Amino acid sequence: MEIKEKIESLRKEIELLNYRYYVLNQPTISDFEFDGKLKELENLEAEYPEYADPNSPTQRVGSDINNNFVQVEHIHPMLSLSNTYSEGEIREFYDRTKKALNEDFEIVCELKYDGTSISLIYENGSLIRAVTRGDGTKGDDVTANIRTIKSIPLKLHGNNYPPLFEIRGEVLLPWNTFHELNEEREKNEEPLFANPRNAAAGTLKLQNSKVVAQRKLDSYLYYLLGDNLPFDGHYENLQAVKNWGFKVSDAIRKCKTIEEVLHFIDYWDKERKNLPVATDGIVLKINSGKQQRNLGWTAKSPRWAIAYKFQAESAETKLLSVEFSVGRTGTITPIANLEPVLLSGTIVKRASLHNEDIINKLDIHYGDSCYIEKGGEIIPKITGVNKNTRTLFLGEKVTFVKQCPACGTPLIRLDGESAHHCPNNSGCPPQIKGMIEHFVSRKAMNINAGEETINQFYDNGLIRNAADLYHISLQDILRLERWGEKSVANFMESLEVSKQVPFERVLFALGIRFVGETVAKKLANAFHDINNLMNASYQQLISVDEIGEVIAQSIIQYFSEESNVKQVQKLQEKGLQFSLSEKTMAERTRLLKGKTFVISGVFSEHSRDEYKELIDKNGGKNTSSISSKTNFVLAGENMGPAKLEKARKLGIRIINEYEFLKMIND
């Protein structure tokens, strides 16, 4: 067999094995055998690069090249569906359709998956483009990331599909993968995803497709569009696409009466708890394509389809106690401890009470029987109290604490805020520990110390602020439990390496309230070193791009506290970077001062992020949307047509990357 034929044969075989494993859930060979075939194909493609194919199954691992997304206009607008929440509204939709059509019709009932919408374009049996919903008119081209999802075919089976068509569906993160991902993020001290929907959407927008591949996204396809479709019926088309290699849910039913529709809804309202993925309702569609066209569309949604949203799952259980936790910035959060109850497939023991206003509104007492909901969120919430179950022996009313539960300091509540705060940030143990945990985190100083280590150091009196980390000796740590010479060496080495972390990350690591990564970078570029920032006036601060009143006041407040100033001085003495490097300063100019840029499209010389850096370094300002204040649009290939039209309408100068590079090089 010739090499080209061998490669193509292996590709077809592996795609079929992928289809049987990920779509049909019917594997036919062992993982070991599959890995052997994939490795053989990888070796052949490496040896014969002239036969490379972006749709080869070897490309599903993704690439770690950073690709900025290009916005692509949808062939057909991706409209949203009208939502209903009751049986009455479903009957209204049915009666309205019956009156408008004045003939028999069928309704296809499908599960409404709680993920992120995607549009896939296939040409001659190959995936050529994948686009997110975006604003419904245009979305982001995420083809590289979609190629990593093994339930989405890169090449179709058979040959009875149209030469060009679009198929839409939902990209999902299964529950088990979602929990694994959050466990990993917790270990890495990263923020947890609230629900699988957010996790799927966030994953699909990652610039690194290699990471996307590791997330194990899944998909269900539910809508075929294009010319020369196999059938007029939506249901029949979905059955056809299964044979092409697409993953289509088996939970689809074609109904002829309203009673059949309501029975489907009632069944899945209960059974959905056993599904491996998140669902939040049922979608009803008129089956006939001809009848769909007759019913038409409104400006926002089709008249031939509607979504029924499930009520958030709730349960009733007893309130045992309330604890008030203290966050890194001193925010006090009330958490209810409950009698364990089964909700959304998990045992719930805790629920959020949010803040004092919510507690007062609920009029909740200890021992009350309360209603809890878990609409896909990590921590359920209490939504009400069953006052009918109260007895003469009513428990004490839940009231918000007046003093910090950790240090006893009187709490404050700022105007316009719903949360209470402990102002004792330099003497409150949870705040101190939280600030140090933030300081050592990966995006800040990246020091080899997690929550357990910080607690151990604090409890043994080794640290009381972040600067103390640099004063800990080898002997201090070796006296502690669970520490060996290698782990101590790793920790000490990470401390030394952290002294090379650039100024903007050190500034972020200080944990000044409202100063995140982006704001820290803006401040570093504006003031160049910590002394300038510490002495900056309110007017100087708010003159910096994106620095408003709240952030400015927070910075002034932070440096007005002697303990914070002393900590900065100690960190300076230990050699941390508290000014922009000479190299960074040498690269900075004022060539673009007062000029505002919007970047759009794809570039060949630099990435979009690199062009943003160049604009910042030369004194210019980046914004994402075009307005009358925009001076230039830096346009690459495939610039969004809406931005192009708006720029021309406002008379804004449009330049290409070579004109821009000439501006800053001159």
Tens-place pLDDT, residues 355-364: 899 999 999 9
* Helices and strands counted in the chain (H then E): 25, 20
With cut-offs at 50, 70 and 90, classify the pLDDT of residue 516: confident
* pLDDT higher than 80, residue 655: yes
Neighbours of 652 (CB within 10 A): 19
Q: What angle do CA 504, 63, 114 make, to 5 degrees?
A: 85
Tell me the two tokens of residue 378.
């990590």
* pLDDT higher than 60, residue 171: yes
Q: What is the mean pLDDT of residues 169-197?
A: 80
Mean pLDDT of the chain: 87
614: helix, coil or strand?
helix
Q: What is the pLDDT of residue 65?
A: 41
- Distance in angstroms (rounded) separating the CA atoms of residues 353 and 383: 9
With cut-offs at 50, 70 and 90, classify the pLDDT of residue 63: very low
Per mean pLDDT, which of 292-301, 442-451, 623-632 is the most reliable?
A: 442-451
- Distance in angstroms (rounded) separating the CA atoms of residues 273 and 277: 9
Q: What is the pLDDT of residue 23?
A: 61
In the chain, the amino acid numbered 296 is G
pLDDT 10s digits, 22-43: 566 566 776 557 767 877 888 8
CB proximity list for 537: less than 8 A, separation 6 or greater? none
Tell me the two tokens of residue 461.
């009196």
* Helix segments in 352-462, DSSP class H: 356-362, 429-440, 451-459
Q: What is the mean pLDDT of residues 88-112?
A: 94
- Distance in angstroms (rounded) separating the CA atoms of residues 505 and 578: 10
- Distance in angstroms (rounded) separating the CA atoms of residues 451 and 471: 19
Tell me the two tokens of residue 446.
């990246």
Looking at per-residue confidence, does 549 or 347 come out higher? 549
Q: Is 112 a catalytic residue?
A: yes
Q: Which of 627, 543, 547 is closest to 593 using CA atoms?
A: 543
Q: What is the pLDDT of residue 263?
A: 96
Which residues lie across from 220 on neighbouring strands? Answer: 170
In our burial notation (b when 16+ CB lie closer than 10 A, e otherwise), range 84-118 reads beeeeebeebbeebeebeeeebbbbbbbbbbbbbb
**Cβ(87)–Cβ(284) under 8 Å?**
no
How many CA atoms within 13 Å lie on the side-chain side of 33?
8
**Catalytic member of 37, 99, 112, 300:** 112
pTM of the model: 0.54
Element (H, E) at 166: strand 164-172
Neighbours of 469 (CB within 10 A): 24
With cut-offs at 50, 70 and 90, classify the pLDDT of residue 64: very low
**Cβ(334)–Cβ(353) under 8 Å?**
yes
Least confident of 182-186, 288-292, 524-528: 182-186
Q: Which residue segments constitute the domains of the chain, with CATH numbers given?
A: 3-61 (1.10.287.610), 73-309 (3.30.470.30), 314-389 (2.40.50.140), 429-498 (1.10.150.20), 503-585 (1.10.150.20), 589-665 (3.40.50.10190)
- State CA 149 to chain mean position distance: 17
| Sole residue written with tokens 């031939």 | 304
pLDDT 10s digits, 112-156: 998 899 999 999 999 999 999 887 888 888 998 999 999 999 999
